[in-house]
Amino acid sequence: MAPEIGDLSGKIQGDALTMTGLSVNASNNPVEAEVTLLDGSGNALAEYRHASFSPGEFAIAGFALEFAGINEWRAATQASLTLLDGAGNRSRAITTGILKGDSGGPNLSSVTFNGSVMKVKGKRLSGLSGVEVNGEMVAVSKVTLKGSGKKAEVEASAAELRIGSGPNRVRVISNGLRSNAMILNF
């Protein structure tokens, strides 16, 4: 019988992707996790090497797997997980979003950049204290808040914000909480 996945969640922190969930595996043998990174259209960008874990003596076990190097695939917005048991049985692939922010944190709806001003729209931006681009905190000094915490403008060059050509993963920090991330193409 193939293993099954429950309660799957994924989150990016810095340059690492963490996948958590439940594994249902009747054989109680070690399980391998196959993770495929996907862009916003569901196209496969890359696959991580299989990661093994042992559920121990329980048929249902929680897991937390960390995969380094997510910044190589800055357009990744989702991750698909498949579990494989020692007999070669494969679970159904489950896909989850990986751009989630902290509970109660800002919620971004759009991010644009014209080369000198980054415009951010969303909710709970009033305590904006930082910007994270591709997993790295960026020092910002010229921030203007508008619209009762629903809009912010950050004056800085692409080099100052560490925005590269192509897709860039952007999130903001407000009142100590990280927003969801958005993909900004530049």
- For the segment 39-49, what is each residue's pLDDT rounded down to a tens digit? 999 999 999 99
Which of 166, 175, 178, 71 minimizes the C-alpha distance to 132?
178
Same fold, 4-97 and 107-185: yes
More reliable by pLDDT, 177 or 29: 177
- pTM for this model (two decimals): 0.89
What residues does each domain of the chain span?
4-97, 107-185
The answer to whether 133 and 183 are in contact (CB under 8 A) is: no
The CATH class that applies to domain 107-185 reads mainly beta
- For the segment 111-169, what is each residue's pLDDT rounded down to a tens digit? 999 999 999 999 999 888 899 999 999 988 899 998 888 999 999 999 999 999 999 99
Report, at the CATH architecture level, how domain 4-97 is classified.
Sandwich (2.60)
- Does 1 score more than 90 pLDDT? no
Rounded Cα distance between 21 and 171, Å, is 24
pLDDT of residue 127: 86
- For the segment 48-73, what is each residue's pLDDT rounded down to a tens digit? 999 998 887 888 889 999 999 999 99
Mean per-residue pLDDT for 10-20?
Answer: 95
